[in-house]
Protein backbone atom coordinates (compact mmCIF):
# COMPACT_ATOMS: atom_id res chain seq x y z
CA UNK A 1 0.00 0.00 0.00
CA UNK A 2 1.00 3.63 -0.27
CA UNK A 3 0.42 6.44 2.17
CA UNK A 4 -2.14 7.86 -0.23
CA UNK A 5 -4.39 4.87 0.44
CA UNK A 6 -4.87 5.66 4.13
CA UNK A 7 -8.34 7.03 4.91
CA UNK A 8 -8.64 10.41 6.59
CA UNK A 9 -11.08 11.61 9.22
CA UNK A 10 -12.31 15.00 8.06
CA UNK A 11 -15.31 15.99 10.15
CA UNK A 12 -16.58 15.58 13.70
CA UNK A 13 -19.29 16.99 15.89
CA UNK A 14 -20.63 16.63 19.43
CA UNK A 15 -23.93 17.65 20.99
CA UNK A 16 -25.26 17.59 24.54
CA UNK A 17 -28.57 18.61 26.08
CA UNK A 18 -28.63 18.91 29.86
CA UNK A 19 -31.67 21.11 30.23
CA UNK A 20 -34.59 20.27 27.95
CA UNK A 21 -37.76 19.15 29.68
CA UNK A 22 -39.08 15.72 28.77
CA UNK A 23 -41.77 17.06 26.45
CA UNK A 24 -39.28 19.27 24.58
CA UNK A 25 -36.24 16.98 24.48
CA UNK A 26 -34.81 16.05 21.11
CA UNK A 27 -35.29 12.53 19.80
CA UNK A 28 -32.33 10.34 18.85
CA UNK A 29 -33.05 10.97 15.16
CA UNK A 30 -33.06 14.73 15.69
CA UNK A 31 -29.77 14.61 17.60
CA UNK A 32 -28.16 12.26 15.08
CA UNK A 33 -29.28 14.48 12.23
CA UNK A 34 -27.87 17.57 13.92
CA UNK A 35 -24.43 16.07 14.57
CA UNK A 36 -24.30 14.57 11.08
CA UNK A 37 -24.90 17.95 9.45
CA UNK A 38 -22.41 19.56 11.83
CA UNK A 39 -19.73 16.96 11.06
CA UNK A 40 -20.17 17.68 7.35
CA UNK A 41 -19.87 21.43 8.01
CA UNK A 42 -16.76 20.77 10.06
CA UNK A 43 -15.18 19.13 7.02
CA UNK A 44 -15.88 22.14 4.84
CA UNK A 45 -18.55 24.47 3.45
CA UNK A 46 -19.19 22.31 0.39
CA UNK A 47 -22.81 21.06 0.42
CA UNK A 48 -21.68 18.10 -1.66
CA UNK A 49 -19.89 16.59 1.35
CA UNK A 50 -23.14 15.53 3.00
CA UNK A 51 -24.53 14.22 -0.26
CA UNK A 52 -21.37 12.16 -0.89
CA UNK A 53 -21.87 9.87 2.12
CA UNK A 54 -22.25 6.31 0.84
CA UNK A 55 -22.01 4.34 4.11
CA UNK A 56 -23.62 5.01 7.50
CA UNK A 57 -22.94 3.08 10.70
CA UNK A 58 -24.91 3.76 13.88
CA UNK A 59 -23.72 2.89 17.34
CA UNK A 60 -26.51 1.27 19.35
CA UNK A 61 -29.05 3.79 20.66
CA UNK A 62 -30.67 2.38 23.79
CA UNK A 63 -34.47 1.97 23.64
CA UNK A 64 -34.71 3.17 20.02
CA UNK A 65 -35.98 0.54 17.60
CA UNK A 66 -36.74 2.46 14.42
CA UNK A 67 -36.62 -0.33 11.86
CA UNK A 68 -33.58 0.82 9.90
CA UNK A 69 -31.87 3.63 11.77
CA UNK A 70 -29.11 4.36 9.24
CA UNK A 71 -31.65 4.61 6.43
CA UNK A 72 -33.88 6.86 8.52
CA UNK A 73 -30.90 9.12 9.27
CA UNK A 74 -29.92 9.22 5.60
CA UNK A 75 -33.43 10.31 4.67
CA UNK A 76 -33.47 12.91 7.44
CA UNK A 77 -30.30 14.68 6.28
CA UNK A 78 -30.73 14.15 2.54
CA UNK A 79 -28.04 11.53 1.89
CA UNK A 80 -29.29 9.94 -1.31
CA UNK A 81 -26.22 7.86 -2.20
CA UNK A 82 -26.02 5.58 0.84
CA UNK A 83 -25.56 1.98 -0.23
CA UNK A 84 -24.20 0.44 2.98
CA UNK A 85 -26.01 0.62 6.31
CA UNK A 86 -24.77 -0.80 9.61
CA UNK A 87 -26.20 -1.00 13.11
CA UNK A 88 -24.17 -2.06 16.12
CA UNK A 89 -25.05 -4.29 19.01
CA UNK A 90 -24.18 -3.27 22.58
CA UNK A 91 -20.57 -2.48 23.37
CA UNK A 92 -18.28 0.38 24.29
CA UNK A 93 -15.75 -1.01 21.82
CA UNK A 94 -18.08 -0.47 18.86
CA UNK A 95 -17.40 3.17 17.85
CA UNK A 96 -13.69 2.49 17.42
CA UNK A 97 -14.39 -0.87 15.78
CA UNK A 98 -16.82 0.78 13.34
CA UNK A 99 -14.30 3.44 12.33
CA UNK A 100 -11.73 0.70 11.75
CA UNK A 101 -14.21 -1.31 9.69
CA UNK A 102 -15.21 1.66 7.54
CA UNK A 103 -11.55 2.61 7.09
CA UNK A 104 -11.01 -0.86 5.68
CA UNK A 105 -13.91 -0.45 3.25
CA UNK A 106 -12.50 2.87 2.09
CA UNK A 107 -9.01 1.43 1.73
CA UNK A 108 -10.38 -1.43 -0.38
CA UNK A 109 -12.34 0.93 -2.61
CA UNK A 110 -15.73 -0.29 -1.38
CA UNK A 111 -16.65 3.14 -0.02
CA UNK A 112 -15.53 6.72 -0.50
CA UNK A 113 -17.28 8.64 2.28
CA UNK A 114 -18.52 7.05 5.51
CA UNK A 115 -20.28 8.30 8.63
CA UNK A 116 -20.26 6.88 12.14
CA UNK A 117 -22.81 8.39 14.51
CA UNK A 118 -24.20 7.67 17.94
CA UNK A 119 -26.73 9.13 20.36
CA UNK A 120 -27.57 8.46 23.99
CA UNK A 121 -30.89 9.68 25.39
CA UNK A 122 -31.15 7.95 28.75
CA UNK A 123 -31.82 11.22 30.59
CA UNK A 124 -34.86 11.82 28.41
CA UNK A 125 -36.02 8.21 28.79
CA UNK A 126 -35.95 8.51 32.58
CA UNK A 127 -37.64 11.91 32.57
CA UNK A 128 -40.42 10.71 30.28
CA UNK A 129 -41.04 7.62 32.38
CA UNK A 130 -41.18 9.70 35.55
CA UNK A 131 -43.72 11.97 33.88
CA UNK A 132 -45.78 9.02 32.65
CA UNK A 133 -45.10 9.95 29.03
CA UNK A 134 -44.62 7.61 26.11
CA UNK A 135 -41.19 7.73 24.50
CA UNK A 136 -42.70 8.20 21.04
CA UNK A 137 -39.53 8.27 18.98
CA UNK A 138 -39.53 8.07 15.20
CA UNK A 139 -39.67 4.75 13.38
CA UNK A 140 -39.15 3.81 9.76
CA UNK A 141 -36.37 3.33 7.28
CA UNK A 142 -36.84 0.87 4.46
CA UNK A 143 -34.82 -2.31 4.34
CA UNK A 144 -32.65 -3.79 7.06
CA UNK A 145 -29.23 -2.62 8.21
CA UNK A 146 -26.38 -5.08 8.63
CA UNK A 147 -25.84 -5.88 12.30
CA UNK A 148 -22.30 -5.60 13.62
CA UNK A 149 -21.13 -7.11 16.89
CA UNK A 150 -21.39 -10.20 19.07
CA UNK A 151 -24.78 -11.56 20.11
CA UNK A 152 -23.48 -13.41 23.18
CA UNK A 153 -24.86 -11.74 26.33
CA UNK A 154 -22.48 -10.07 28.73
CA UNK A 155 -23.42 -12.16 31.78
CA UNK A 156 -24.13 -15.85 32.22
CA UNK A 157 -27.30 -17.12 33.90
CA UNK A 158 -25.21 -18.17 36.90
CA UNK A 159 -23.70 -14.69 37.22
CA UNK A 160 -27.12 -13.05 37.03
CA UNK A 161 -28.41 -15.25 39.88
CA UNK A 162 -25.78 -13.83 42.21
CA UNK A 163 -25.99 -10.20 41.12
CA UNK A 164 -23.15 -10.06 38.59
CA UNK A 165 -25.41 -8.60 35.92
CA UNK A 166 -24.59 -4.90 35.70
CA UNK A 167 -21.36 -2.87 35.39
CA UNK A 168 -21.46 -1.43 38.95
CA UNK A 169 -21.35 -4.94 40.39
CA UNK A 170 -18.96 -6.60 37.92
CA UNK A 171 -16.14 -4.08 37.48
CA UNK A 172 -15.40 -4.07 41.24
CA UNK A 173 -14.46 -7.76 41.12
CA UNK A 174 -11.61 -6.84 38.78
CA UNK A 175 -10.70 -3.74 40.79
CA UNK A 176 -10.39 -5.66 44.04
CA UNK A 177 -8.41 -8.44 42.37
CA UNK A 178 -5.97 -5.99 40.81
CA UNK A 179 -5.56 -4.21 44.14
CA UNK A 180 -4.62 -7.46 45.85
CA UNK A 181 -2.26 -8.46 43.04
CA UNK A 182 -0.47 -5.13 43.43
CA UNK A 183 -0.10 -5.65 47.17
CA UNK A 184 -2.04 -2.52 48.14
CA UNK A 185 -4.06 -2.28 51.33
CA UNK A 186 -7.50 -0.65 51.27
CA UNK A 187 -6.26 2.81 52.22
CA UNK A 188 -3.41 2.75 49.70
CA UNK A 189 -5.81 1.58 47.03
CA UNK A 190 -8.34 4.30 47.80
CA UNK A 191 -5.58 6.88 47.43
CA UNK A 192 -4.42 5.33 44.16
CA UNK A 193 -7.94 5.42 42.68
CA UNK A 194 -8.36 9.06 43.63
CA UNK A 195 -4.99 10.00 42.18
CA UNK A 196 -5.82 8.15 38.96
CA UNK A 197 -9.24 9.69 38.39
CA UNK A 198 -8.88 13.24 39.70
CA UNK A 199 -6.90 14.31 36.59
CA UNK A 200 -9.87 13.10 34.52
CA UNK A 201 -12.07 15.66 36.26
CA UNK A 202 -9.53 18.39 35.50
CA UNK A 203 -9.76 17.55 31.80
CA UNK A 204 -13.56 17.47 32.01
CA UNK A 205 -13.56 20.89 33.68
CA UNK A 206 -11.87 22.33 30.57
CA UNK A 207 -14.07 20.45 28.10
CA UNK A 208 -17.07 22.49 26.86
CA UNK A 209 -18.80 19.25 25.84
CA UNK A 210 -18.41 17.54 29.23
CA UNK A 211 -21.54 16.64 31.18
CA UNK A 212 -19.85 17.51 34.50
CA UNK A 213 -17.24 20.23 33.82
CA UNK A 214 -16.14 20.22 37.47
CA UNK A 215 -12.76 19.50 39.04
CA UNK A 216 -12.83 17.12 42.01
CA UNK A 217 -9.93 16.28 44.31
CA UNK A 218 -8.81 12.68 44.86
CA UNK A 219 -10.34 12.71 48.33
CA UNK A 220 -13.65 14.06 47.06
CA UNK A 221 -13.90 11.24 44.53
CA UNK A 222 -13.21 8.41 46.95
CA UNK A 223 -14.87 9.59 50.18
CA UNK A 224 -18.39 8.23 50.65
CA UNK A 225 -20.91 10.96 51.51
CA UNK A 226 -24.63 11.53 51.09
CA UNK A 227 -23.88 13.05 47.68
CA UNK A 228 -21.28 10.43 46.76
CA UNK A 229 -22.62 7.19 48.17
CA UNK A 230 -20.86 3.87 47.90
CA UNK A 231 -22.39 1.75 45.13
CA UNK A 232 -20.31 -1.37 44.55
CA UNK A 233 -17.26 -1.61 46.80
CA UNK A 234 -14.76 0.00 46.38
CA UNK A 235 -16.52 2.44 44.02
CA UNK A 236 -18.38 5.53 45.12
CA UNK A 237 -20.85 7.20 42.77
CA UNK A 238 -18.17 9.59 41.47
CA UNK A 239 -16.11 6.62 40.27
CA UNK A 240 -18.92 5.15 38.15
CA UNK A 241 -19.64 5.93 34.52
CA UNK A 242 -22.55 8.34 34.23
CA UNK A 243 -25.04 7.12 31.63
CA UNK A 244 -27.99 9.43 32.32
CA UNK A 245 -27.10 11.89 29.59
CA UNK A 246 -28.45 13.21 26.31
CA UNK A 247 -25.36 13.28 24.09
CA UNK A 248 -24.62 12.62 20.44
CA UNK A 249 -21.56 12.58 18.22
CA UNK A 250 -20.66 11.93 14.60
CA UNK A 251 -17.41 11.35 12.72
CA UNK A 252 -16.92 11.55 8.95
CA UNK A 253 -14.11 9.72 7.13
CA UNK A 254 -13.23 9.38 3.47
CA UNK A 255 -10.53 8.51 1.00
CA UNK A 256 -7.85 11.09 0.32
CA UNK A 257 -8.85 11.26 -3.34
CA UNK A 258 -12.45 12.02 -2.40
CA UNK A 259 -11.37 14.59 0.17
CA UNK A 260 -9.45 16.43 -2.52
CA UNK A 261 -12.32 16.16 -4.99
CA UNK A 262 -14.72 17.61 -2.42
CA UNK A 263 -12.35 20.42 -1.53
CA UNK A 264 -11.76 19.39 2.07
CA UNK A 265 -8.75 21.43 3.24
CA UNK A 266 -5.79 19.30 4.29
CA UNK A 267 -5.77 21.24 7.55
CA UNK A 268 -8.92 19.26 8.37
CA UNK A 269 -7.39 15.87 7.62
CA UNK A 270 -6.58 13.47 10.43
CA UNK A 271 -4.95 10.29 9.22
CA UNK A 272 -6.27 6.93 10.30
CA UNK A 273 -3.05 5.02 10.92
CA UNK A 274 -4.22 1.65 12.20
CA UNK A 275 -6.68 -0.20 14.36
CA UNK A 276 -7.37 -3.50 16.06
CA UNK A 277 -10.03 -5.42 17.96
CA UNK A 278 -9.64 -8.36 20.31
CA UNK A 279 -11.90 -10.23 22.72
CA UNK A 280 -10.77 -11.95 25.88
CA UNK A 281 -10.35 -15.69 25.40
CA UNK A 282 -12.69 -16.27 28.37
CA UNK A 283 -15.93 -14.38 27.68
CA UNK A 284 -17.85 -14.23 30.95
CA UNK A 285 -16.30 -12.29 33.81
CA UNK A 286 -16.56 -15.17 36.28
CA UNK A 287 -14.79 -17.52 33.85
CA UNK A 288 -11.51 -15.56 33.71
CA UNK A 289 -8.44 -17.46 34.75
CA UNK A 290 -6.92 -14.36 36.39
CA UNK A 291 -9.04 -11.41 37.50
CA UNK A 292 -5.97 -9.17 37.68
CA UNK A 293 -5.10 -9.58 34.00
CA UNK A 294 -6.75 -8.88 30.65
CA UNK A 295 -4.26 -10.15 28.07
CA UNK A 296 -6.43 -9.18 25.11
CA UNK A 297 -5.92 -5.51 26.01
CA UNK A 298 -2.20 -5.82 25.38
CA UNK A 299 -2.80 -7.85 22.23
CA UNK A 300 -5.27 -5.32 20.82
CA UNK A 301 -3.45 -2.11 21.69
CA UNK A 302 -0.03 -3.37 20.65
CA UNK A 303 -1.48 -4.60 17.36
CA UNK A 304 -2.91 -1.13 16.68
CA UNK A 305 0.50 0.44 17.31
CA UNK A 306 2.22 -2.12 15.10
CA UNK A 307 -0.20 -1.45 12.28
CA UNK A 308 0.33 2.29 12.67
CA UNK A 309 4.09 1.91 12.53
CA UNK A 310 4.43 3.76 15.82
CA UNK A 311 5.83 2.98 19.24
CA UNK A 312 4.09 3.68 22.53
CA UNK A 313 6.54 6.52 23.15
CA UNK A 314 5.40 8.22 19.92
CA UNK A 315 1.81 8.58 21.10
CA UNK A 316 1.21 12.10 22.39
CA UNK A 317 -2.34 11.71 23.73
CA UNK A 318 -4.52 8.85 24.94
CA UNK A 319 -8.15 8.30 25.60
CA UNK A 320 -8.29 5.02 27.48
CA UNK A 321 -11.79 3.73 28.05
CA UNK A 322 -12.71 4.80 31.57
CA UNK A 323 -16.11 3.52 32.65
CA UNK A 324 -14.57 2.61 36.02
CA UNK A 325 -11.07 3.12 37.42
CA UNK A 326 -10.08 -0.50 36.78
CA UNK A 327 -10.71 -0.07 33.05
CA UNK A 328 -7.94 2.53 33.08
CA UNK A 329 -5.60 0.84 35.54
CA UNK A 330 -5.96 -2.54 33.82
CA UNK A 331 -5.11 -0.95 30.47
CA UNK A 332 -2.09 0.71 32.07
CA UNK A 333 -1.07 -2.59 33.66
CA UNK A 334 -1.39 -4.62 30.47
CA UNK A 335 -0.23 -2.01 27.98
CA UNK A 336 2.72 -0.50 29.83
CA UNK A 337 1.41 3.04 30.41
CA UNK A 338 2.19 4.52 33.82
CA UNK A 339 -0.77 5.62 35.92
CA UNK A 340 0.96 8.97 36.39
CA UNK A 341 2.02 9.29 32.74
CA UNK A 342 2.36 13.02 32.00
CA UNK A 343 0.55 12.52 28.69
CA UNK A 344 -2.60 11.75 30.66
CA UNK A 345 -5.19 9.08 29.99
CA UNK A 346 -8.12 11.06 28.58
CA UNK A 347 -8.86 13.91 26.21
CA UNK A 348 -12.54 14.27 27.17
CA UNK A 349 -12.63 13.73 30.93
CA UNK A 350 -13.86 10.15 30.71
CA UNK A 351 -17.18 8.41 31.17
CA UNK A 352 -17.80 9.42 34.81
CA UNK A 353 -17.23 13.14 34.14
CA UNK A 354 -17.48 13.99 30.45
CA UNK A 355 -20.45 11.66 30.35
CA UNK A 356 -20.86 8.00 29.51
CA UNK A 357 -23.28 7.96 26.57
CA UNK A 358 -23.80 4.19 26.65
CA UNK A 359 -22.02 2.45 23.78
CA UNK A 360 -21.15 5.71 22.00
CA UNK A 361 -18.61 7.26 24.38
CA UNK A 362 -15.48 6.59 22.31
CA UNK A 363 -16.97 8.45 19.37
CA UNK A 364 -16.80 11.60 21.48
CA UNK A 365 -13.20 10.77 22.33
CA UNK A 366 -12.37 10.46 18.63
CA UNK A 367 -13.94 13.86 17.97
CA UNK A 368 -11.82 15.50 20.68
CA UNK A 369 -8.69 13.64 19.58
CA UNK A 370 -9.23 15.03 16.08
CA UNK A 371 -9.29 18.53 17.56
CA UNK A 372 -6.06 17.84 19.44
CA UNK A 373 -4.30 16.67 16.30
CA UNK A 374 -5.64 19.46 14.09
CA UNK A 375 -4.57 22.09 16.62
CA UNK A 376 -1.04 20.70 16.79
CA UNK A 377 -1.19 19.83 20.48
CA UNK A 378 -0.79 16.15 19.56
CA UNK A 379 0.95 14.58 16.60
CA UNK A 380 -0.47 11.12 17.22
CA UNK A 381 -3.23 9.87 19.50
CA UNK A 382 -4.74 6.57 20.59
CA UNK A 383 -8.41 6.00 21.40
CA UNK A 384 -9.54 2.71 22.92
CA UNK A 385 -12.87 1.04 23.55
CA UNK A 386 -14.11 -1.63 25.93
CA UNK A 387 -17.30 -3.65 25.73
CA UNK A 388 -19.20 -5.56 28.39
CA UNK A 389 -16.87 -6.28 31.31
CA UNK A 390 -13.28 -5.92 30.12
CA UNK A 391 -14.44 -8.45 27.53
CA UNK A 392 -14.16 -6.77 24.12
CA UNK A 393 -11.37 -4.35 23.26
CA UNK A 394 -10.73 -2.02 20.35
CA UNK A 395 -8.12 0.61 19.54
CA UNK A 396 -7.24 3.04 16.77
CA UNK A 397 -4.37 5.39 16.07
CA UNK A 398 -4.87 8.85 14.57
CA UNK A 399 -2.08 11.16 13.44
CA UNK A 400 -1.25 14.38 11.64
CA UNK A 401 0.72 12.57 8.94
CA UNK A 402 0.23 9.33 7.02
CA UNK A 403 3.36 7.47 8.03
CA UNK A 404 5.29 5.06 5.87
CA UNK A 405 3.40 1.77 5.92
CA UNK A 406 4.42 -0.54 3.11
CA UNK A 407 2.16 -3.51 3.83
CA UNK A 408 -1.58 -3.90 3.60
CA UNK A 409 -3.24 -2.98 6.90
CA UNK A 410 -5.00 -5.58 9.03
CA UNK A 411 -8.23 -4.34 10.53
CA UNK A 412 -10.05 -7.23 12.14
CA UNK A 413 -9.64 -9.43 15.17
CA UNK A 414 -6.14 -10.89 15.21
CA UNK A 415 -4.54 -12.23 18.36
CA UNK A 416 -1.18 -10.55 18.64
CA UNK A 417 -0.19 -11.62 22.11
CA UNK A 418 0.92 -14.75 23.89
CA UNK A 419 -0.65 -17.66 22.02
CA UNK A 420 -0.67 -19.68 25.24
CA UNK A 421 -2.85 -17.04 26.91
CA UNK A 422 -5.18 -17.00 23.93
CA UNK A 423 -5.84 -20.72 24.40
CA UNK A 424 -6.48 -20.74 28.17
CA UNK A 425 -9.94 -22.31 28.61
CA UNK A 426 -12.72 -20.66 30.55
CA UNK A 427 -12.87 -21.64 34.21
CA UNK A 428 -15.98 -23.70 34.88
CA UNK A 429 -18.34 -22.77 37.71
CA UNK A 430 -19.56 -25.32 40.27
CA UNK A 431 -23.24 -24.39 40.66
CA UNK A 432 -23.75 -26.36 43.89
CA UNK A 433 -20.76 -25.63 46.08
CA UNK A 434 -20.29 -27.07 49.55
CA UNK A 435 -17.22 -27.10 51.74
CA UNK A 436 -14.18 -25.19 52.88
CA UNK A 437 -13.20 -22.43 50.50
CA UNK A 438 -11.37 -19.14 50.04
CA UNK A 439 -12.23 -15.85 48.33
CA UNK A 440 -10.68 -15.15 44.92
CA UNK A 441 -12.37 -11.78 44.49
CA UNK A 442 -15.52 -10.04 45.63
CA UNK A 443 -17.60 -6.91 45.90
CA UNK A 444 -20.25 -5.55 48.23
CA UNK A 445 -23.34 -3.86 46.81
CA UNK A 446 -24.67 -0.97 48.90
CA UNK A 447 -28.28 0.17 49.14
CA UNK A 448 -29.37 3.74 48.44
CA UNK A 449 -29.04 4.62 52.12
CA UNK A 450 -25.36 3.74 52.02
CA UNK A 451 -25.56 0.42 53.86
CA UNK A 452 -23.69 -2.71 52.70
CA UNK A 453 -26.49 -4.94 51.48
CA UNK A 454 -25.32 -7.82 49.28
CA UNK A 455 -21.92 -9.42 49.18
CA UNK A 456 -20.90 -11.17 45.96
CA UNK A 457 -18.06 -13.68 46.17
CA UNK A 458 -16.10 -15.57 43.55
CA UNK A 459 -14.17 -18.27 45.33
CA UNK A 460 -12.44 -21.62 45.13
CA UNK A 461 -13.24 -24.79 47.02
CA UNK A 462 -10.29 -26.61 48.52
CA UNK A 463 -10.35 -28.98 45.54
CA UNK A 464 -9.89 -26.01 43.17
CA UNK A 465 -13.42 -25.74 41.82
CA UNK A 466 -14.67 -22.19 41.37
CA UNK A 467 -18.05 -21.05 42.67
CA UNK A 468 -20.18 -17.94 42.89
CA UNK A 469 -21.91 -17.07 46.14
CA UNK A 470 -23.57 -14.35 48.14
CA UNK A 471 -22.75 -13.55 51.75
CA UNK A 472 -25.38 -13.93 54.49
CA UNK A 473 -27.87 -11.12 55.03
CA UNK A 474 -25.96 -9.83 58.04
CA UNK A 475 -25.24 -6.10 58.31
CA UNK A 476 -22.41 -6.47 60.83
CA UNK A 477 -20.69 -9.11 58.71
CA UNK A 478 -21.10 -7.10 55.52
CA UNK A 479 -19.63 -4.05 57.23
CA UNK A 480 -16.60 -6.06 58.31
CA UNK A 481 -16.09 -7.34 54.76
CA UNK A 482 -15.54 -3.81 53.41
CA UNK A 483 -13.27 -2.73 56.27
CA UNK A 484 -10.48 -5.26 55.75
CA UNK A 485 -8.86 -7.24 52.96
CA UNK A 486 -11.29 -9.98 51.97
CA UNK A 487 -9.36 -11.59 49.11
CA UNK A 488 -7.84 -14.83 50.32
CA UNK A 489 -10.30 -14.97 53.21
CA UNK A 490 -11.04 -18.58 54.23
CA UNK A 491 -14.57 -19.64 54.94
CA UNK A 492 -17.26 -22.15 54.18
CA UNK A 493 -19.71 -22.22 51.30
CA UNK A 494 -23.07 -23.97 51.59
CA UNK A 495 -25.58 -24.63 48.82
CA UNK A 496 -29.12 -24.26 50.13
CA UNK A 497 -32.44 -23.35 48.53
CA UNK A 498 -30.82 -23.14 45.12
CA UNK A 499 -28.12 -20.64 46.12
CA UNK A 500 -24.53 -20.73 47.36
CA UNK A 501 -23.81 -18.80 50.56
CA UNK A 502 -20.28 -18.03 51.68
CA UNK A 503 -19.51 -17.18 55.29
CA UNK A 504 -15.97 -16.28 56.39
CA UNK A 505 -14.34 -18.11 59.27
Its pTM stands at 0.96
Give 121's DSSP letter.
Answer: E
What's the number of CA atoms in the CB half-sphere (13 Å) around residue 96? 36
Q: Judge whether 25 and 17 are in contact, CB under 8 Å.
A: yes
Instruction: Find, among 10, 41, 12, 49, the residue nearest to 266 by Cα.
Output: 10
pLDDT of residue 473: 94
Instruction: Please give the mean pLDDT across all residues of the chain.
Output: 95
Percent of the chain with pLDDT over 90: 92
* Poorest-pLDDT segment among 44-48, 213-217, 236-240, 307-311: 44-48
What average pLDDT score do residues 199-218 get? 98
pLDDT of residue 19: 86
Bridge partners (DSSP) listed for residue 56: 85, 115
> How does pLDDT run across 145-173, given as a tens digit for each residue?
999 999 999 999 999 999 999 999 999 99
Cα separation, 377 vs 43, in Å, equals 19
Cα separation, 315 vs 379, in Å, equals 8
**Domains along the chain?**
3-154+242-422 (3.40.47.10), 435-504 (2.40.50.840)
Cα separation, 259 vs 8, in Å, equals 8
pLDDT of residue 406: 46
Q: Judge whether 202 and 215 are in contact, CB under 8 Å.
A: yes
Cα separation, 121 vs 257, in Å, equals 36
Report strand pairing: 84-88 vs 113-121.
Answer: unpaired
SS (H, E, C) 11-65: EEEEEECCCCCHHHCCCHHHHHHHHHHHHHHHHCCCCHHHHCCCEEEECCCCCCC
Cα separation, 9 vs 14, in Å, equals 15
Q: Judge whether 306 and 397 are in contact, CB under 8 Å.
A: no
pLDDT of residue 3: 52
pLDDT of residue 418: 58
Helices marked H in 44-156 — which ranges? 48-51, 69-77, 94-107, 122-130
CA gyration radius for the chain? 23
Q: Judge whether 481 and 452 are in contact, CB under 8 Å.
A: yes
| 295 pLDDT tier (thresholds 50, 70, 90) | very high
Q: Judge whether 55 and 117 are in contact, CB under 8 Å.
A: no
pLDDT of residue 1: 39
pLDDT of residue 373: 99
pLDDT of residue 20: 86
> How does pLDDT run across 464-499, given as a tens digit for each residue?
999 999 999 999 999 999 999 999 999 999 999 999
Residue 135 above 60 pLDDT?
A: yes
Percent of the chain with pLDDT over 70: 95
Q: What are phi and psi of 121, to 5 degrees?
A: -130, 35
Any residues with CB less than 8 A from the CB of 112 and at least 6 apart, and which? 52, 54, 106, 254, 255, 257, 258
CA angle 296, 461, 179 (to 5 degrees): 45
Q: What are phi and psi of 263, to 5 degrees?
A: 75, 25
Q: Judge whether 504 and 491 are in contact, CB under 8 Å.
A: yes
Q: Judge whether 199 and 221 are in contact, CB under 8 Å.
A: no
Instruction: Find, among 388, 403, 242, the residue nearest to 327 by Cα.
Output: 388
Residue 416 above 70 pLDDT?
A: no
> How does pLDDT run across 89-121, given as a tens digit for each residue?
999 999 999 999 999 999 999 999 999 999 999
Cα separation, 342 vs 224, in Å, equals 28
Cα separation, 336 vs 320, in Å, equals 13
> Quick one: angle between helices 28-43 and 69-77, nearest 10?
60
Amino acid sequence: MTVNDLPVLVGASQLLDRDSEAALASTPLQMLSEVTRAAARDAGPNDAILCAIDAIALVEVLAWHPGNGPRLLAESVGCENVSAEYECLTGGETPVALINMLAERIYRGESEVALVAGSNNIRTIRNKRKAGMKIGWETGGAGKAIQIGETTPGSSDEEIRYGLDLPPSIYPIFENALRAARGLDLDQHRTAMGNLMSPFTRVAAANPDAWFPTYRSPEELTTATSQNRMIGFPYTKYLNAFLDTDQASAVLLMSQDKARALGVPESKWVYWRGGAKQNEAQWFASSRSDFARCPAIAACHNAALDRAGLSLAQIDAFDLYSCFPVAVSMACEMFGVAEDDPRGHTVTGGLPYAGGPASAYSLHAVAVMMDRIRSGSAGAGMVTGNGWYLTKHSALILANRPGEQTTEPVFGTVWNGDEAEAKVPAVEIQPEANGEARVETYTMIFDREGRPARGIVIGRLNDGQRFLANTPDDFALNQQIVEKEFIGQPGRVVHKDGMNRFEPT
